[in-house]
Amino acid sequence: MPQFLNGASRDASGQSTGLRLPAQLFCVLFRVLLVTLVAAIGTSVTAAVPYIVHVGDPHHPGALSVAVQKAYAAGAHEIVINPGVYHLPATGHPTFHLKHWQNICISAKQVELIMRVAHAGVCFDLDHCRNVILDGPTISQTRVTFYQGRIIQITPASGGYNLDWKPDAGYPEPKISDKHFPTGFDVVNGRTRHLRVGSPDIGTAIHSAEAHGVFRLFFRMKRPKFKVGDWLVARWGNPRNKILLDHSHNCTIQHVTLMRNGFAPIFEAGGGGNHLLYCHWVLGPKPAGATESPVVTNQADGFHSVGANPGTDIEHCVFKGVFLDDCIAIHGEFQTVLRATGNTIRVKDNRNSGLTAGQPIQISNKEGFFATGLVLAVQKNSDQTSTVILNHNLSVPVGSYVTNPDRCGQGYRVIDCLLGDTRSRGMLLKGSNGLVIGNTVRGCGMAGISIGPEFWWHEAGYCHNVIVEDNHLIRDGKGGHGGYFSAVYVHGDGAVGNSDIVIRHNTFVSNFAGDIFMQWTGSGQVADNTFTGPPLLSATGDRRPAAIAVRNCGPIQLGHNTITNPTAYAPAAKK
């Protein structure tokens, strides 16, 4: 049973941290209360509003949003959307803008909501909400948001290869005038419908548009790692999120199915303590006129969280199909130090970094500087900078990166999920006090589980007290070789800032570029894991990787670990 259903949360050591009420309990409580009489207009009482209100007619989808808003305004505490398919009109703003909603259940079982690609707003905008449940809908859109087509010919060319590519019927096509694609291509095996081994993010130029919708592309590489009949896929368009958790607290998104997705169909900014339960990211139906089913589920990230405290509770979620970026991304934001004198620093503002008086600050740089402190005061300036006063002089180097470590998704939980088949990471985790337990992560192009900051993306922060336990990591690291592609990758950007990272009781099966790579970590434990050798190392051009590699770290406790076929690995690497 998920921990929060018992009413108690736990930290990464498994200890109870007290009551963290889920939104579901509010629905149960409200069922035993008398319903308040409210007015349709003004303050006079005109009618008794039932606890459960049914709304919606699929033949009149444009009226659904108004009906939902009226039901909430009238005092209902459970809104049931009638079953059916609703083709939502393009409005230029969120279809369901739930602003400051509290203590409400929206039940949408057997409901499909179809957004227009041109829709400028999200479907559900939970704007500064508390204790809201969204239960059951399938949310889709009118068009796919990715290129998909088959390779029909490969020929050698100077410095690389020409490739003739034909978009599948019903899928987007480049313009004749295009010279480059907006992002690199990824290759999907034409037989298995999974990402092909050894073919990450291929940059390409369009040489010419041939007859009958065939495009000649040029790839600069030594040898092709794809075949005639494989699919090339890439991002197209820029559709918005389907569900936005905007500075909302203790909200639950459950039993939601998401298809034909762009970037982050569920996006969380600020807020905290939210739950994703039994949600499914799935391949959508064939587009109109198509003969091939889609191979891509998500144009980019599946779930993306920035600046939350506490982090999201993600349980029993399933990510199916190919993802063109991380399945799960949880992080904060770095601000850059522009000036530093004594205990006063001036930083460039970012929206979700969250530097706040009375809260901690984490400071680091690529040259090895790492420090923590307490913020005494923050003064917003007129030039998009802030002046920050610290509790003591840290001699902060100019150019360093600062963040509030409590606003990086600390306390997140990823439990009993199934994910993978992404060109990038299965989980990209940059918060402390995290639990990653009982998941299966299969077929990622890069790391299955990545822990630590990335200065390149200004995504914070260094991580403390994270447990990775009882997970299965299978055939991850398809895209290349080296630590960046290890099944579990704990990393930093030049400073020993991670600490207390525990990796135990996991099973590693046939990963391509090694199983565990730890760097820039002050303390941790690797124990009671089981490793089997990576298959077909030549497929990634890799030499034998080490099962466990440790670089630039403090004391890492290496307990008993089992390697079933040690000849598949290089000797353990540590320094």
Q: Please, which pLDDT band fits residue 37 given cuts at 50, 70 and 90?
A: very low
pLDDT digits (tens, 9 = 90+) for 492-512: 999 999 999 999 999 999 998
Rounded distance, CA 226 to CA 131, Å? Answer: 48
Q: Please, which pLDDT band fits residue 14 given cuts at 50, 70 and 90?
A: very low
Is residue 545 scored above 60 in pLDDT?
yes
Rounded distance, CA 93 to CA 431, Å? Answer: 32
Local structure of 567: helix, strand or coil = helix
Close Cβ partners of 399 (under 8 Å, ≥ 6 residues apart): 336, 337, 365
Q: What is the pTM of this model?
A: 0.88
Residue from 329, 326, 322, 327 nearest 146 by CA: 322
Max Cα separation, the chain? 80
| β-sheet bridge partners, residue 559 | none
Alpha carbon 68 to chain centroid distance? Answer: 29
pLDDT digits (tens, 9 = 90+) for 442-453: 999 999 999 999
The lowest-confidence range among 27-31, 153-157, 178-182, 197-201 is 27-31
Question: Residue 376's pLDDT is what?
Answer: 96
**Lookup: tokens for 411:** 């306390």
Preceding omega of 461 cis (within 30 degrees of 0): yes
Rounded distance, CA 312 to CA 249, Å? Answer: 10
Side-chain-facing half-sphere of 138: CA atoms under 13 Å: 17
Residue 30: Cβ-neighbour burial (10 angstroms; 0-12, 13-18, 19+): middle
Question: Residue 73's pLDDT is what?
Answer: 95
Q: Please, which pLDDT band fits residue 223 given cuts at 50, 70 and 90?
A: confident
Residue from 101, 70, 76, 121 nearest 243 by CA: 121
Close Cβ partners of 248 (under 8 Å, ≥ 6 residues apart): 126, 127, 128, 129, 130, 132, 268, 271, 274
The lowest-confidence range among 233-242, 267-276, 341-350, 424-433 is 233-242
Average pLDDT over residues 10-18: 44
Question: Residue 251's pLDDT is what?
Answer: 98
Question: Residue 575's pLDDT is what?
Answer: 47
**Lookup: tokens for 267:** 């996006």
Q: Please, which pLDDT band fits residue 159 given cuts at 50, 70 and 90?
A: confident
For the chain, counts of helices (H) and of strands (E): 2, 56
Compute how many other C-beta atoms are within 10 angstroms of the C-beta atom of residue 111.
21
Question: Residue 175's pLDDT is what?
Answer: 74
Phi, psi of 272 (to 5 degrees): 160, 170
Question: Residue 42's pLDDT is what?
Answer: 32
Is residue 111 scored above 90 in pLDDT?
yes
Question: Residue 211's pLDDT is what?
Answer: 64
CA-to-CA dists, residue 385 to 381, 408, 436, 445, angstroms: 5, 20, 36, 38
pLDDT digits (tens, 9 = 90+) for 238-272: 777 899 999 999 999 999 999 999 889 999 999 99
Q: Please, which pLDDT band fits residue 181 given cuts at 50, 70 and 90?
A: low
Is residue 336 scored above 90 in pLDDT?
yes
pLDDT digits (tens, 9 = 90+) for 124-140: 999 999 999 999 999 99
What is residue 262's DSSP assignment?
A: -
Is residue 38 scored above 90 in pLDDT?
no
Local structure of 140: helix, strand or coil = strand
Average pLDDT over residues 329-343: 95
Close Cβ partners of 291 (under 8 Å, ≥ 6 residues apart): 168, 169, 170
Contact 424, 298 (CB under 8 A): no
Phi, psi of 216 (to 5 degrees): -95, 120
Contact 208, 176 (CB under 8 A): no
Residue type present at position 291: T
| 348-351, Cβ contacts within 8 angstroms, sequence gap of 24 or more | 348/384, 348/385, 349/380, 349/384, 349/385, 349/386, 350/458, 351/269, 351/307
Average pLDDT, the chain: 86
Close Cβ partners of 552 (under 8 Å, ≥ 6 residues apart): 496, 519, 520
Q: Is the dihedral of CA 372, 377, 383, 384 positive or negative?
A: positive
Rounded distance, CA 240 to CA 123, Å? Answer: 9
**Lookup: tokens for 550:** 């440790």
Place of tokens 């909400």: 129
Is residue 572 scored above 90 in pLDDT?
no
Compute how many other C-beta atoms are within 10 angstroms of the C-beta atom of residue 230.
21
Close Cβ partners of 457 (under 8 Å, ≥ 6 residues apart): none
Average pLDDT over residues 462-477: 97
Average pLDDT over residues 396-413: 96
